[in-house]
Structure 1
Amino acid sequence: MKVAVFHDWSALERDLRRSLPQRAVVTKRQELLSYDCDGLTMDRHAPPLAVLPEDTGQVAAVLRCCHAHGIPFVARGSGTGLSGGALVDQQALLVITSRMRKVLEVDLDNQRLTVQPGVINSWVTRAVAGDGFYYAPDPSSQVVCSIGGNVAESSGGVHCLKYGVTSNHVLGLEVVLPDGTVTQLGNGLAESPELDLRGAFIGSEGTLGIATAITLRLLRAPECVNVLLADFATMAAAGEAVRSITAAGLLPAGMEIMDNVTINAVDDFFGYDEYPRDAAAVLLIELDGQAAEVQESAEQAELLCRQAGARGLRRAEDPGECAVLWKGRKSAFSAVGKITPTYYVQDGVVPRSTLPAVLAEIERLSQEHGLPVANVFHAGDGNLHPLILYSAADPEAERKVKELGAAILRVCLDAGGSISGEHGVGADKRCYLDWMFGPDDLDTMSLLRQAFDPEQRANPGKVLPTPRTCGESAKRVVTLPAGVGLY
């Protein structure tokens, strides 16, 4: 027999108001509706109550109140996530970190900086650019997404090919655990002898606690940067250029591909023709380092692109011209939104060698399901971001879109890839996780989660498949014996 769980929200609100400034507690329905979804707008659930803490002490007080009342919570940053990770799809308190926007410490001698989770990604580089440093992870939403959300999803971006994703650039975390305890994961150094709980927390999508101070690795700005733009008559030729460049031993800072639908959307969006409108695909290649190294690498990359069938090549060496070439790629999702305001972004990974075959299969599936798909992706590491375009007026749209999205993920897995590269699992793909992992794998993940959160109140129901959220998934809930934990 299933027993309903009732939470005393009035008592929780009363305790929260005692612990926080009055403006930090949000109760009005019209205000709560502002948080009814994240970047995945297809699913919407307004939270029953929300808070906006401003420092670690306030976050700890909030989670202690939740712990005392047995009420779950969901952490939310800027709300730009694309997998429903910040969605309150069951009764839970929403903890919004967007007012935690302070740069806490700048330590250029050790090439690091510590920020609160609400600091916007692009602000980090802005804070240190004048001293010749920058922060490498750069999601396309970097002007609006927050560092706390980047940590939760282990976000990537254009430069992840050479420099890695968020997990490669976080040196330490101050974390509030689900019971309100404040702890430190990682010591702010590049190497540490203890168990890497910092690494376990990054990418955990808010299921282990809330990071309230994040120490980031800074890099020296490169001496020279060149950006190449190559256009191709076929997507297969663009994929061959990517393959040949990596096979030759070149390591660009980033390699990005946009298909014809995206090219035209971007050119229309900005009102110019930076990308050839008749190209089946354009390939952007960024090379950085010392001037002589970049010059030699750019010449070799140009040759390999021509051998792969590039119709035209353009090289940008001036920082302003480089920014223009990247502007379209960074704004691709927004540009596609001008074609249709409703689209669904999928996120899968495939081996680079399979890109042409996988993209051909996505095109076949697009025609089979009757839904257009625009492709823009991190070609260097095979991280695909197909955008499924649909009309919200179609009553069957959600079912059709999710069926096509699932079929695309199955193609990625069959090619030896993954169901997510950087957007996370969240609510959107939790029912597909057991396509990739067996029961023992999922049980191990659950054990780790329970070590941090024995009552499973942190972002409940996300990431791991459960009977409630996935009718086809077997129950995989592990109960830890008393006294067993992870240290």
Structure 2
Amino acid sequence: MNAPTETLLAPSFTAERQRQVAAALRALIPAHAVLFNEEDTRPYECDGLAAYRQLPMVVALPENEAQVAAMLKTCRDLKVPIVPRGAGTGLSGGAMPIADGVVVSTAKLNRIIKMDAYSRTAIVQPGVRNLAISDAAAVHGLYYAPDPSSQIACTIGGNVAENSGGVHCLKYGLTVHNVMRVRMVTIDGEIVELGGAALDAPGLDLLSVFIGSEGMLGIVTEVTVKLIPKPQLARVIMASFDDVVKSGNAVANVIAAGIIPAGLEMMDKTSSRMVEPFVKAGYDIDAAAILLCESDGTAEEVEEEIGRMSAVFEASGATRIEVSRTEAERLRFWSGRKNAFPAAGRISPDYYCMDGTIPRKNLAQVLLRIEEMEGKHGLRCANVFHAGDGNLHPLILFDANVPGEFHRAEAFGAEILELCVEVGGTITGEHGVGIEKINSMCVQFSPLEREAFFGVKRAFDTAFLLNPDKAIPTLQRCAEYGKMHVQRGQLKFPDLPRF
């Protein structure tokens, strides 16, 4: 998404302060790893949410854990805010710099430390790419299950920060289900290990607290991930439906039948027509919606499960069912879903990718409401999402060069997130909150709940220097957003349970 001029924030630091911080960091790490000239820091001004940009004061690229610890202690003493950064593929602005802060990139911490085929684990540094873990484990017949669409570029450190998922998370889980241990550095420079090599670790389960904390609690320096055997066989069903209600019901019917597919994705007509010319995946572009449903395991298991799933789809009103016959065809079916985001660039100058989660039973209802919102906001929306766990990824199409369209896209996205809360869901599934959804947190959570979040942050970062002003909104911000009556503490949708 291109950045409208009004969201480009001017530097708010002095040259003297910049020199002071850069000199302090250059005393700890190699001089070439501390960047402060604009031509060097400009590439770090945003993450994948390019609509929001801020030039960082300094960028530091430590090369080992000791350097990370020393840098954090120094930044604490200098009262300098820190923004951790992985590959910058995040879509919620979580890695957008703080104006007078330091971006700490883990790009140089990129070693696979140990690959253990017997325990089916790998110990890696945070800068290792998601897909590189599976590539390295392939010789042992193993792989790392979470597979976000950006897996060719995103790093495991960023995956830990956002609790990333992917198209196979329904069966194999999110990052939190596939990480056993995290080694991290606090703002005080203390090295802490969370989790362990055993199935359970003593004490409080702080590993689950840390995963998904968006860089607000510490900086990851080492991760132990689970590896699983590559299935003998995987096949995909591509089912077409002439009505989005039928496709939504089909998703619920598959799960109700006791089937947990390896992947269960939905794309509406706008998405399939957007993607098909780009990748030629063989999608039915006349269908109102298509489902991609994968089975993996032994040949016998896959044959039996494909038969059961096909029967469910037929009973749910599928107009066409096609099953992949070869591995190449399976990958072709998935290629359209994996390339939905770049395909959007072929039909629209800009797109805004949302991320909310709803109960599966409400899929059809929410899709119909989003269709109504298209008319209200005067913008198109392509819907691609992890249907199996209700994780929506609406792509709002707009042109940032047309005055007002970016703000209409933002309003459209905020309304989708409020709809997710209204039907009993949540404002994010795997992209995180960052700065993009911080106002929507006012809708999702009460003041007491948000204060509890701040309490967790204080326990790790009393100075509030690690990725400040992200993810958790203040009471004042919520009041300004206008979704809460501050005097009486009333929330929109008060009858809904708060998570």
Aligned equivalent of 2:492: none
* Residue 388 (1) aligns with residue 396 (2): yes
- AA paired with 2:406? E
* Residue 107 (1) aligns with residue 116 (2): yes
| 1:294-317 deviation line (CA, Å, top 9, x unaligned) | 111100111111121212111114
Q: Note the C-alpha offset of 1:341.
A: 3.3
* Residue 279 (1) aligns with residue 280 (2): no
* Residue 27 (1) aligns with residue 36 (2): yes
- AA paired with 2:474? T
* Residue 328 (1) aligns with residue 323 (2): no
| TM-score where L is the length of structure 2 | 0.92
Aligned equivalent of 1:481: none
Q: Note the C-alpha offset of 1:86.
A: 0.3
Q: Distance in 1 between matches of 2:271 and 2:79?
A: 47
Q: Secondary structure at the match of 1:80?
A: coil
Q: Distance in 2 between matches of 1:469 and 1:90?
A: 19
Aligned equivalent of 2:143: 134
| 1:385-410 deviation line (CA, Å, top 9, x unaligned) | 00111111122122211111111111
Q: Distance in 2 between matches of 1:10 and 1:407?
A: 44
Q: Distance in 2 between matches of 1:163 and 1:64?
A: 38
* Residue 405 (1) aligns with residue 416 (2): no
Do 1:8 and 1:69's aligned partners in 2 also have CA atoms closer than 8 Å?
no
* Residue 348 (1) aligns with residue 356 (2): yes
- AA paired with 2:80? I
The 4+ residue runs of structure 1 with deviation greater than 6 A are: 4-7
Q: Secondary structure at the match of 1:236?
A: helix
Do 2:83 and 2:466's aligned partners in 1 also have CA atoms closer than 8 Å?
yes
Structure 2 unaligned segments of length 5 or more: list them: 1-11, 487-499
Do 2:145 and 2:228's aligned partners in 1 also have CA atoms closer than 8 Å?
yes
- AA paired with 2:99? Q
Select 2:18's aligned residue among 9, 22, 47.
Answer: 9
Aligned equivalent of 2:84: 75
Do 2:384 and 2:392's aligned partners in 1 also have CA atoms closer than 8 Å?
yes
Q: Distance in 2 between matches of 1:395 and 1:63?
A: 42
Say which is worse superposed, 183-192 or 398-407, in terms of deviation: 183-192
Q: Assess, with a 3 A threshold, how the Cα gap between structure 1 residues 190 and 396 changes in structure 2: closer, same or farther.
A: same
- AA paired with 1:216? V
Aligned equivalent of 1:256: 265
| 1:374-432 deviation line (CA, Å, top 9, x unaligned) | 00000000000001111111221222111111111111111110000010011011111
Do 1:461 and 1:469's aligned partners in 2 also have CA atoms closer than 8 Å?
no
Q: Secondary structure at the match of 2:454?
A: helix
* Residue 50 (1) aligns with residue 59 (2): yes
* Residue 189 (1) aligns with residue 198 (2): yes
Select 2:96's aligned residue among 55, 65, 87.
Answer: 87
Aligned equivalent of 1:40: 49
Q: Note the C-alpha offset of 1:120.
A: 0.7
After the TM superposition, which residues 287-366 of structure 1 pair with which residues of structure 2 at under 5 Å, given as runs? 287-366=295-374
Q: RMSD value over aligned CA atoms? A: 1.7
* Residue 414 (1) aligns with residue 422 (2): yes
Aligned equivalent of 1:479: none
- AA paired with 2:304? E
Q: Distance in 1 between matches of 2:400 and 2:406?
A: 8
After the TM superposition, which residues 203-242 of structure 1 pair with which residues of structure 2 at under 5 Å, given as runs? 203-242=212-251
Q: Note the C-alpha offset of 1:89.
A: 4.1
Q: Distance in 2 between matches of 1:59 and 1:97?
A: 9
Q: Distance in 1 between matches of 2:95 and 2:360?
A: 31
Do 2:57 and 2:99's aligned partners in 1 also have CA atoms closer than 8 Å?
no
Do 2:82 and 2:98's aligned partners in 1 also have CA atoms closer than 8 Å?
no
Q: Note the C-alpha offset of 1:318.
A: 2.4
Q: Distance in 2 between matches of 1:33 and 1:17?
A: 19
Aligned equivalent of 1:427: 435
Say which is worse superposed, 115-124 or 86-95, in terms of deviation: 86-95
Q: Distance in 2 between matches of 1:190 and 1:26?
A: 41
Q: Note the C-alpha offset of 1:273.
A: 5.4
Aligned equivalent of 2:474: 466
Q: Secondary structure at the match of 1:19?
A: coil
Q: Assess, with a 3 A threshold, how the Cα gap between structure 1 residues 197 and 262 changes in structure 2: closer, same or farther.
A: same
Q: Secondary structure at the match of 1:284?
A: strand
Do 1:225 and 1:317's aligned partners in 2 also have CA atoms closer than 8 Å?
no
Percent identity between matched residues is 42
| TM-score where L is the length of structure 1 | 0.94
Do 1:345 and 1:386's aligned partners in 2 also have CA atoms closer than 8 Å?
yes
Do 2:281 and 2:336's aligned partners in 1 also have CA atoms closer than 8 Å?
no
Q: Note the C-alpha offset of 1:224.
A: 2.2
Say which is worse superposed, 185-194 or 92-101, in terms of deviation: 185-194
Q: Distance in 2 between matches of 1:5 and 1:269?
A: 44
Q: Note the C-alpha offset of 1:9.
A: 2.8
Aligned equivalent of 2:169: 160
| 1:73-94 deviation line (CA, Å, top 9, x unaligned) | 0001111111100011432100
Q: How many residues align?
A: 471
Aligned equivalent of 2:9: none
Q: Note the C-alpha offset of 1:373.
A: 0.4
Do 1:64 and 1:180's aligned partners in 2 also have CA atoms closer than 8 Å?
yes
Q: Distance in 2 between matches of 1:153 and 1:400?
A: 26
Do 1:71 and 1:93's aligned partners in 2 also have CA atoms closer than 8 Å?
yes
